[in-house]
Amino acid sequence: MIPVVRRNTELGLILLVIIITAGTYTLASLGTTSDLPADIGPFLGIVLALLAGAHVATRHLAPGGDGVLLPIAGLLNGLGYVWIARLDEDLAGLQATWTAVGITAFVGTLALVRRTRDLERYRYTFMLVGVGLLLLPLVPVVGKTVNGARIWVELGPISFQPGEFAKIILAVFFASYLVDKRELLGMAANRIGPLTLPNLRHFGPVLLAWAASLLVMTAQRDLGSSLLFFALFVVMLWVATERASYLAVSGLLFAGGAFAAWSVFAHVQQRIAIWLDPWSDVTDQGFQVVQATFALAWGGVAGTGPGLGNPDRIPLIETDFIFVAIGEELGLLGSTGIIVAYLLMVGTGLRIALRAETPFNKLLATGLTTILGIQSFIIIGGVTRLVPLTGITLPFVSYGGSSLIANYILLALLIRISDDNASAGVGADRRAGAAP
Amino acid sequence: MPESLLTILKLCALALLYLFFLRVLRAVWAEVASTRTAAAAVPQAPPGRVSAPRRSAGRREKASSHLTVMEPAEQKGRSFTLADELTVGRAAGCQITLDDNYVSQLHARVFLRDGMLYVEDLGSTNGTYLNSHKVSSPVAFKRGDRLKIGSTVMELTS
């Protein structure tokens, strides 16, 4: 019953996504060249094939999986592609390839992970792989520094960002580790005011996660990922133990670490200075952020129209600043739409976590949702100057193979968990159906 | 192409975008509302109604079944009430936690399907035995059957 309804919802939404993507693609072409796009036929065919392929695979592999996640991801991916194609045709071809690989990874994950508890059993393997991937860019020969951050790995012809995959693998490890240790970690030892503090030695894992994220921040100069990893661990720890004191202590640790980094590292000071006052150095350090602010202002409520703005003035527009390109050409309404899409995804992810039957599934769904939510918050907040700018990709929208593939794997895991929930709830469903 | 036409088309695209979100919200709402009525309906359903005979039989069996430890001797008599699904293993997340080196973290699962109890091995290292037969796929678990996990033997009692 639930599976049929969910899959038909998904199909309906996917058709709408295809119409929106193709329509915006046509509009962007009309805006830039005042002509219909020459390749609209193949474009429609590829979008249709990719989304239909993912949909058919879900029908077979996870029939009870949630029906709104895939369409929302498809919408974000499609809109991202439209703007990448409008800004840089070479990148567009690559992004199309990455999308195809991403959808394949999505189907592959659904096919490979038939039960999430299979993941739970390899927790220490996942820990080693996760930490290994995280630290891989620091290895002398394979690691590569791009734009000041050492987050790339080059193996022969392939270069990728292992951190994008590490975040998912570490979420799996944290979930299985915390399921095992949550009672121990949640035990109350001391009370200070309204806070119940667990035994001091149980803060060991927090300190370890903190040290690891500081290492990522200092050695790889990747502020965004550092914040993402630490926040992921702390949120999962809080959800597993139901102890708010972990949040408080971690918040203090984070503030301390951030302050220390600010006083020691020039690149952190620079970021903060640009955040507080980009206008003092408009032509150099503040250029990117100031141009982004102008672009968003120029867009107004409904935007200049796809293809009619000048987002190509902003450096890194296809990756970190893609949100601004959409904000300029679709205005406040369009950029709000992107935020609404992430809110709906996060809401759906948390609903899946609430419904999850086993503690592991609950924690894993929470962790994966946290990744999506925090990552989009960090970068959208960064380009709109709500928080200091840290380079990180906007999930599903930004140009980037590693990011796109990793996020499709994340999506597949969430859908797998919701499929588990649906098949566990079959009994409850039948009860409800029998009641008058 | 006139600019006014482009503006109209752009507004159409934005309208479609928000139509998409409305449809997502409607789908979510339909699900939340249906589970809410389902949750409300369960306690109201009188037990043993003709419309749901299979289910109520299953519930009655579930309510009265226990797993009672027979071996080792020092644990004898310890008893677990069966729910819709129970996991047995060494991990703290299991409903039945056995502190035994021969038990895997997640060892086996006892679950109710269509009013029948089943045992399934979850890929344990040392195996699960039902009446001395190794459990390789889910098998029916009946009253009086003996389940051996590691060095613990449990019997299904009422």
Name residue A147's amino acid: N
Q: Is residue A138's pLDDT more than 90? A: no
Pairwise CB contact (< 8 Å): A434 & B45: yes
A117: nearest CB among B19, B25, B106: B106
Task: Kindly provide the residue ranges of all beta strands, DSSP E only, lying in A147-194, ordered along the sequence.
Answer: 149-155, 158-160, 188-192
List of chain A residues whose C-beta atoms are within 8 Å of the C-beta of residue B112: 427
Q: How confident is the model at residue A314 (pLDDT cuts 50, 70, 90)?
A: confident
C-beta separation of A383 from A142 below 8 A: no
What is the DSSP track for B22-35?
HHHHHHHHHHHHHH
A333: nearest CB among B14, B49, B87: B14
A24: nearest CB among B13, B18, B93: B13
Stronger pLDDT, A326 or A212, i.e. the higher one: A326
**A385 to chain B nearest CA, in Å?**
25
B10: nearest CB among A67, A306, A337: A306
Note whether A68 contacts B: Cβ–Cβ < 8 A: yes
Pairwise CB contact (< 8 Å): A71 & B20: yes
Helix orientation angle between A322-355 and A287-299, rounded to the nearest 10 degrees: 80
Q: How confident is the model at residue A351 (pLDDT cuts 50, 70, 90)?
A: very high
Note whether B9 contacts A: Cβ–Cβ < 8 A: yes
Task: Give, in degrees to the nearest 5, the angle at Cα A259 between A257 and A262.
Answer: 110
Distance CA A382, CA A295 (A): 15
Percent of chain A with pLDDT over 70: 93
- Per-residue pLDDT of A139-191, as tens digits, reads 877 787 877 777 888 877 778 888 899 999 989 988 988 888 877 777 766 66
Q: Is residue A431's pLDDT more than 60? A: no
- Per-residue pLDDT of B97-139, as tens digits, reads 887 777 888 889 888 887 788 888 887 878 888 888 888 888 8
Note whether B92 contacts A: Cβ–Cβ < 8 A: yes
A31: nearest CB among B6, B20, B84: B6
Pairwise CB contact (< 8 Å): A72 & B24: yes
pLDDT value for B54:
40
Note whether A114 contacts B: Cβ–Cβ < 8 A: no
Nearest residue in B to A179, CA atom? B93
Name residue A197's amino acid: L
Q: Is residue B49's pLDDT more than 90? A: no
**B117 to chain A nearest CA, in Å?**
13
**Collapsed DSSP state (helix, strand, coil) of residue A293:** helix
Complex prediction ipTM: 0.87
List of chain B residues whose C-beta atoms are within 8 Å of the C-beta of residue A30: 1, 6, 9
A179: nearest CB among B19, B45, B93: B93
Q: How far apart are the first and last CA of chain A?
A: 17
Distance CA A160, CA A402 (A): 6
Distance CA A62, CA A111 (A): 9
C-beta separation of A349 from A372 below 8 A: yes
Scanning A200-259 for CB atoms below 8 A from B yields: none
Q: Is residue B47's pLDDT more than 50? A: no
In terms of DSSP H, where are the helices of chain B?
3-44, 53-64
Distance CA B157, CA B147 (A): 12
Pairwise CB contact (< 8 Å): B27 & A9: yes
Nearest residue in A to B38, CA atom? A432
List of chain A residues whose C-beta atoms are within 8 Å of the C-beta of residue B23: 12-13, 16
- Per-residue pLDDT of A217-232, as tens digits, reads 778 888 888 888 889 9
Pairwise CB contact (< 8 Å): A120 & B122: no
Distance CA A149, CA A139 (A): 14
pLDDT value for B60:
42
**Contacts A–B by Cβ distance under 8 A:** 132
Beta pairing, strands B96-97 & B85-89: parallel
- Pick left, alpha or beta for residue A36 (phi over 0 → left; psi -120 to 50 → alpha; otherwise beta): beta
Distance CA A311, CA A332 (A): 15
Q: Is residue A203's pLDDT more than 60? A: yes
Nearest to A20 by CA among A75, A68, A73: A75
Nearest residue in A to B46, CA atom? A435
Name residue A342's amino acid: Y
Burial of A313 (0-12, 13-18, 19+ CB in 10 A): middle
Note whether A341 contacts B: Cβ–Cβ < 8 A: yes
Tell me if the bond preceding A436 is cis, omega within 30° of 0. no
Distance CA B122, CA A230 (A): 33
